[in-house]
Amino acid sequence: MSADRKILVVYNTCGINRDNTEWYKNCINSFLQQEFDGFRVVLSSCLNSSECIKDIYSTFGNKISYNLISDAVTVNVSFNDTVRRCVSEFGEFESYLYVDSGCTFDDQKDILESAYSSLQKENTSIVTVQADTDEGLDQLGHPYVYESRDIQVKDEDLVMPVGKGINLHVALFGNDIFKVYGKVLPDVFAAFCTESTFSFLSASLCSRWVIMADKKIRHLKAVDGPVASRPHRKAAPDKSGEIVENNCWNNLMCGRNALDFIEDPEAYAAGLGYEEHQEIMVHNKESYTEGIPNNPSKLVSTIKKYLFLSDKELDHSSIKTIFLS
C-alpha cells in the first residue's frame, strides 16, 4: 500500500439544520496542520449550502478532497459513501478516521501520529480519541465520568471490553474492517446505537477496540444540530413484541426490526450483543475466549446479515453526490 495513504481523514458535516462554515474551516485547518506523513483530508458534506461549500473550497482548494452529498442520508451512510469513493479514486488506505463536525484538534499537531501508532499495536482495529464532551466513558464504570476536560485514560491505551461502548466523535478504523465488510460503519441505524456494535465489529476480526491514552480533543456537541436526516426514535416493537412510542434501539433503516437478531439463537451463539448498557441483547460470554470469538467467521456473517444494509437495500451508486478529488 502506498506510503501516502496511511490515514483518510473524513470530516463529516451536515447542513440540514444549519451551516457552520467558519467553524468547519477552523477544524479542517487543524487537520491539515498535523505533523504526520501520509494522510488525506476529505470533506464529507451532506446537504451543506452551495455558499458554504464555495467558501470552504475558496479557502482550501485542492488541499483537501470533497464528497458533496445532496441526498438526506444518515452520517453512517455518508461516511461509508465517502470512504468508498475515495478508495475508488485513490486506492485503499491503511485506515479511515471518522471526525464529527464538532471536533477540532486545535494546536495539537500529533493526534494523527498518536492514533496511527495505537492502530499499529498488535490486534487493534479501532482506536477512539478521547473527547472533552459527550464522551460516555462512565459506561465503563469507576473512575470514569460522562465527560471531562481532563484526560481520563492515561499512560496506556484502554482496551474496550466486549459489549461495552462509548460515543463516536473521533475514531480511527483499520482497513481490515473495510476489506471484510466493504464498508466501515454498520449502516442499519437511523440515528442511535451504532457504537454499541463496535466491540463486536473488532472482535469479529479477532482484534481490539481501544481508547487512546494521553490525548484529548475538543468537541462541540451537536454543532450541526442533532441527527437530522431521520427521526431519532419511532414507534416500534419492544422486547415483548408490543409497539412502544419513542423506541431508540429499534429504529432501523429499510424496515428492519432489531428483534430479528435479538431473538435469533444463531446470532446469540455467534457472540453478537447489542445496546448492552440497556440490557437489550447481552452477548453470550461462552462464545468468547479472552475477548476473541470462538467462531469468528460466524460472527462476521452475522454482523454482515444484521448490521449492514445489503446492496439491494442501499445502492451507493444511486446516492446523489459530487466528488472532487
Which among 94, 60, 66 is positioned nearest to 81, based on CA atoms? 66
Q: What is the rounded CA–CA span in Å between residue 24 and residue 11?
A: 9
Is the same domain home to 189 and 294? no
The phi and psi torsions of 46 (rounded to 5 degrees) equal -110, 105
pLDDT of 199-210, one tens digit each? 999 999 999 999
pLDDT at 124: 97
Is the same domain home to 13 and 130? yes
Is the same domain home to 298 and 163? no
pLDDT of 22-76, one tens digit each? 999 999 999 999 999 999 999 999 999 999 999 999 999 999 999 999 999 999 9
Alpha carbon 109 to its chain centroid, in Å, reads 22
Averaged pLDDT for residues 95-103: 98
Averaged pLDDT for residues 272-280: 96
Is the same domain home to 30 and 104? yes
Is the same domain home to 211 and 271? no
> Is 1 a domain residue?
no
Averaged pLDDT for residues 92-97: 98
> Is 229 a domain residue?
no
* Residue 120 pLDDT greater than 70, yes or no: yes
Is the same domain home to 98 and 150? yes
Is the same domain home to 199 and 57? yes
Alpha carbon 77 to its chain centroid, in Å, reads 10
Alpha carbon 306 to its chain centroid, in Å, reads 17
Q: What is the rounded CA–CA span in Å between residue 244 and residue 24?
A: 38
Contact yes or no for 192/248 (Cβ under 8 A)? yes
Q: What is the rounded CA–CA span in Å between residue 45 and residue 49?
A: 9
> Is 281 a domain residue?
yes
Is the same domain home to 174 and 283? no
β-pair partners for 12: 44, 100
pLDDT of 146-183, one tens digit each? 999 999 999 999 999 999 999 999 999 999 999 999 99
pLDDT at 145: 95
pLDDT at 239: 84
State which residues form the domain around 196: 7-223+317-324
Is the same domain home to 156 and 243? no
If one counts the domains in the chain, the total is: 2
Peptide bond preceding 293 in cis form (omega within 30 of 0):
no
3-state secondary structure labels for all residues of the chain: CCCCCCEEEEEEEECCCCCCHHHHHHHHHHHHCCCCCCEEEEEEEECCCHHHHHHHHHHHHHHCEEEEECCCCCHHHHHHHHHHHHHHHHCCCCEEEEEECCEECCCCCCHHHHHHHHHCCCCEEEEEEEECCCCCHHHHCCCCCCCCCCCCCCCCCEECCCCCCCCCCEEEEEHHHHHHHCCCCCCCECCCCHHHHHHHHHHCCCCEEEEEEEEEEEECCCCCCCCCCCCCCEEEECCCCCEEEEECCCCECCCCCCHHHHCCHHHHHHCCCECHHHCCECCCHHHEECCEECCHHHHHHHHHHHHCCCCCCCCHHHCCEEEEC
pLDDT at 36: 97
Is the same domain home to 215 and 250? no
> Is 152 a domain residue?
yes
pLDDT at 238: 85
The phi and psi torsions of 237 (rounded to 5 degrees) equal -65, 140
Domain with residue 137: its CATH number is 3.90.550.10
Is the same domain home to 158 and 44? yes
pLDDT of 208-267, one tens digit each? 999 999 999 999 998 887 666 666 677 778 888 888 888 889 999 999 999 999 999 999
Which among 155, 129, 134 is positioned nearest to 210, based on CA atoms? 129
Its pTM stands at 0.96
